[in-house]
Amino acid sequence: MRFLKKIEDKIKRLAELEAALQDPKVAQDPARLKDLGKEFRDLERVAAAYKDYLKIEEGIEGAQKILAEKEAGAEWAAMANEELQRLESRKKDAVRHLEGLVAAEDPMLSKNVILEIRAGTGGLEAGLFAADLFRMYSRFAAASSFKVEILSSSPNEAGGFKEIIASIAGSGAYGRFKYESGTHRVQRVPATEAQGRIHTSAVTVAVLPEAGEVDIEVKPEELRIDTFCSSGPGGQSVNTTYSAIRITHLPTGLIVTCQDEKSQMKNKQKALKVLRSRLLERKMREEEEKRAKQRKEQVGTGDRSEKIRTYNFPDHRVTDHRIGLTVHNLQAVLEGELDAFVDALYEEELAKS
């Protein structure tokens, strides 16, 4: 994995720091000694995690050698195979830990996520695929021990979603989900298609880092808050109480609506959470454009207009167009197995950084 090159560079830096801390001149400079000492302690954690990773790799190599030996008996082979599976699982955890240590350099990557999924071209079929993507992301989040909470949803008559907005909470959530922003295209025969023709539909996904009050200040005088009756499923309170909330951010014109909760206060809190996150993403995008106007090819820009991935049902194929990666396990991907794409995109980004 190419991202390990960055870890190896940190190990080299650790050796340089160790030598510097033994320099008498550094000892006579308290401020510099403090800064170098902190960096040294941070890199020590990276070195320890990398050492564990290398031990796991060594164990995997040993198990694979046993399995490759023709003279190995069935009992030895079974034990080696069991050990290999255990080590492969540990390797995934070790890689995630190393990624987390690298991500710690960018506090944004450790934030929670606001996930927005909207049906695009394709009518009801696009709405059904929006529901499929939400299920896929929910399973991917669960596998990473993240918590998913629906903030707002607009179902369609076919059982899909016109729009669904959710929060995904957990350390490093944004770092794992940020590559999913963009247009996702599906090619399949819709359930409503009588003649068996393949249709192409599209769904847009936006992944925003969840913003707290510290990240984005929203002044009360900048908001127009309207209340109205909820619509859709919800029991007796629907169309009888003014619990639904619409917040308009006057300086930018951004509008957020939330009606899923029966409590007006809870809907307001959720709407403000989404609004702050959209404002933070807007700020990040503006800063990114200032820094790199010509960097359109950069992986993970979050450009929602580009088609980033195609899910082809007839061929059981999923293709990520940004890195040219194709896998032929469509059903597994829809069950939340996105690691192959996330890891490849992460490595590509590191290679370009």
Q: Are residues 186 and 42 in the same domain?
A: no
Last residue of a domain, one of 64, 88, 103: 103
pLDDT of 313-330, one tens digit each?
999 999 999 999 999 999
Angle between the 4-21 and 74-103 helix axes, to the nearest 10 degrees?
60
CA of residue 163 relative to chain centroid, distance: 19
Domain boundary among 290, 311, 339: 290
The overall average pLDDT reported for the chain is 84
Q: Which domain holds residue 242?
A: 220-290
Considering the domain architecture, whether residues 74 and 203 belong to the same structural domain is answered as: no
Residues 164 and 268 in one domain: no
Same domain assignment for residues 154 and 211: yes
Check residue 235 and give left, alpha or beta (phi > 0: left; psi -120 to 50: alpha).
Answer: left
Tens-digit pLDDT profile for residues 114-164: 999 999 988 899 999 999 999 999 999 999 889 999 998 999 988 899 999
**Among 103, 138, 162, where does a domain finish?**
103
**Which residue(s) pair with 153 in the sheet?**
164
Do 274 and 304 fall within a single domain? no
Q: Are residues 117 and 209 in the same domain?
A: yes
Give me the long-range contacts of 333-342 (CB less than 8 A, separation at least 24).
Answer: 333/136, 334/132, 334/135, 334/136, 335/136, 335/139, 336/136, 336/137, 336/138, 336/139, 336/140, 336/141, 336/142, 336/143, 337/140, 338/136, 338/140, 339/92, 341/179, 341/309, 342/176, 342/179
Q: Does residue 181 share a domain with residue 118?
A: yes
Contact by Cβ (8 Å): 36, 20:
yes
The letter for the amino acid at 27 is: A
Domain identity same for 79 and 203: no
Please tell me the pTM assigned to this model: 0.62
Helices and strands, counts by H and E, the chain = 9, 11
* Whether residues 245 and 198 fall in one domain: no
Question: What radius of gyration, in Å, describes the C-alpha atoms of the chain?
Answer: 24
The number of distinct structural domains making up the chain is: 3
Do the beta carbons of residue 307 and residue 294 sit within 8 Å?
no
Query: Are residues 165 and 149 part of one domain?
Result: yes
Q: Report CA 266 to chain centroid distance, whole Å.
A: 25
Residues of the chain where predicted confidence (pLDDT) is lower than 70: 1-3, 70, 72, 103-107, 192-194, 212-215, 230-241, 288, 290-306, 350-353
pLDDT, position 346: 81
3-state secondary structure of 168: strand
Q: Is 75 exposed, middle or buried (0-12, 13-18, 19+ CB in 10 A)?
A: exposed
